[in-house]
Chain A
Amino acid sequence: MSVPRYRVLPRSSSEIERDKRNREINKGLTVLAFVLPGMLVFILFLVIPVVQSLQFSLYDWNGFGPLEKFLGIGNYQRMFADKIFQMSFQHSLAIVVLSLALQLPLALGLALLVGRGKLPGRNLYRAAFFIPYVFSEVVTAIIWMYVYHPTSGLVNVFFSSIIPNFEFQTWLGNRDTSLVAVFFVITWKYFGLHMILYMAGLQGVPKDLEEAARIDGASEIDVLRYVTLPMMGSTIRMTIYLSVLGSFQQFVLVWTLTKGGPVNSTELLVTYMYKYGITRFYLGYGAAIAVVLFLTTLAFSLGYQRIVMRQDYVSEVA
């Protein structure tokens, strides 16, 4: 009985060294080839523009010719003194608060309803709630202009059919209703996203844990309050984060629906920047608005991640 025996042929140490070096060079070239193209695009079209924003914001500049009229913090002083800017900031904050107070609970409630169990037709409902997310903002806005139409829109017809003597409203053209009308459209388009995220979070809640609580005599409300929701903590913290950032960056929907009007009643930070910075060629001023917008979201991001989301990163340390 002959057992096959293999023997590694002895190699000279210089041969091994050369192989190792070749592998290192090969790896180095691969890394370079893999990192460079992506980072080039990233630096050219993201890093440089963001840094330039800071620089432009210190000048009075119309976008043409050299940067000459240095203002220092002049743009910032003018902005903070502007009543319309203050209003825009408040409106953006209002959208943030409304989103957190209404949009997220709605999404969470629906996720709890259709996210689990054997409810027949749940996929259909899920699709119905989520589909506006894939529509473009422009399409969404135009549909809603039609639905809010002052004399023939669906909303007016609906209210007049259930409320006697209902007076038709110009929902988007009235300063008292415009912001709420805009917020409703934002909710219509985006709450499906949060619902989907919650549904994903729900799948991570172990069923037997809830079952155990029920056997121990917990009511459905208690199970929700003490088991399900705490187990979904990381998802909820994530959606809050996305919702705040998304609300601060709202632009296209609002711009298409109202252009920030009437009389600045739906002016948000980004519509203010576009209207008063870009379309009027006060590019230095526009850049200053962008910087404030960015610092606001950055402060929130860093603070929120440090304080609130920190617990979710334990497994994600690189």
Chain B
Amino acid sequence: MTTNTHIGTRITTHINTKATLLTIVKYALLTALAIVMFGPVLTAILGSIRTTGEFLTTPFGLPKTGIHWENYTKILADTSFWIAFKNSLLLATGVPVLVVLLSSMLAFVLARVEFFGKGLVFNLLTLGLLFPITVAILPIFIQIRQLGLINNLWGVILPMVAFGLPGSTVILRGFFRSIPSELEDASYIDGCTTFGFFRYILLPISRPALAAVATLQVIAAWNEYFLPLLILLAEPASWPLPLGIMQFQGQFGSDWAGIMAYVTLLMIPAVIFYLFTERYIVTGLTGGELKG
């Protein structure tokens, strides 16, 4: 009996030291990686409050000649920044609103209504999943030109919506299918129309899934560069921020402090957005499997 307890304690201590060691290794590894991840971001932020001269002599360090806010005020005083900001906001609202609207309607009929041609619509959409926007970028450009939408934000919004639809529809369809059909039957017995059920019951209870789809589209639209590059390049007043910063970088190539200020100005909204929507981003990316 006594020997048993003795062996028991010995094993526990052994496991404990091993576990502590493992935890230390874990943390060391994670911290090293976190430094690699944050190092570039931190350098950019530090670079934005120092002068380019300071960067060139000592690349990584705290500002020695005070904080140089003029790197920021220079950009913020320029109307072209605010025009780009406004254009980015328009893209980042237009695209998600249209994608959520159209894909929720499509997903609803695909998930819950039997109709002629349903298989065709669904197959066409899933086939669309295989087409990244890059492979069709050229004919899209031609199509947009034929419609007279060159240098017009709609020329970016509409193709982005078209390419955002398949994925969003598939996610929402899965979600809509998981809603019990008793709910639908009950609403019909109470006199709801098909549209009524969609509008007043399905959409409100699907808010998390809709938010997930919308969030991913906000990120995509806010960051999109290739389409604006082709469609908006000739008209500076229509540039969104990614085009704006490339232009700024091309024009002031050696003004690293200014460029880093611009970069930081673009990172801040992204980080704030991430902090507020992390749950939805993760839900959207994982199809709702990971919580918290």
Contact = CB atoms under 8 A, between A and B. Distances in A.
Interface of A: 26-28, 30-31, 33-35, 37-39, 41-42, 44-50, 52-53, 56, 63, 110, 113-114, 119, 125, 127-129, 131-132, 134-139, 142-144, 146-147, 149, 151-154, 156-157, 188, 193, 196-197, 199-201, 203-204, 245, 249, 251-252, 256, 270, 273, 277-278, 283, 286-287, 290-291, 293-294, 297-298, 301, 318
Interface string B42-59: 011001000000011101
B245 A142 contact: yes
B69 interface: no
Contacts of A114: 30
B165 interface: yes
A30 B287 CA distance: 27
Nearest to B269: A134
Given A42-B128, A196-B282, A201 B44 contact: no
Q: Interface extent on B, as a size class?
A: 35 or more
Interface stretch (B1-9, B72-80, B155-163): B155-163
B128 A49 contact: no
Contact of A197 (B55, B159, B285): B285
B41 A34 contact: no
Contact of A134 (B103, B106, B138, B273): B273
B270 A136 contact: yes
Interface in B14-45: 23, 26, 29-30, 33-34, 36-41, 43-44
A149 B139 CA distance: 37
A252 B225 contact: yes
Contact of B43 (A26, A146, A252, A291): A146
A147 B174 CA distance: 43
A41 to B, nearest CB: 5
Contacts, number: 245
Interface string B219-249: 1001101100010000000000110011001
B211 interface: no
7 contacts: A34-B198, A38-B105, A119-B23, A127-B278, A131-B41, A135-B223, A203-B291
Given A30-B193, A38-B102, 14 more contacts: A34-B105, A34-B106, A46-B131, A46-B136, A125-B34, A128-B37, A131-B41, A135-B270, A136-B241, A200-B286, A278-B137, A278-B141, A283-B142, A297-B130
A52 B143 contact: yes
Nearest to A53: B139
Contacts of A199: 290
B286 A197 contact: yes
A129 B33 contact: yes
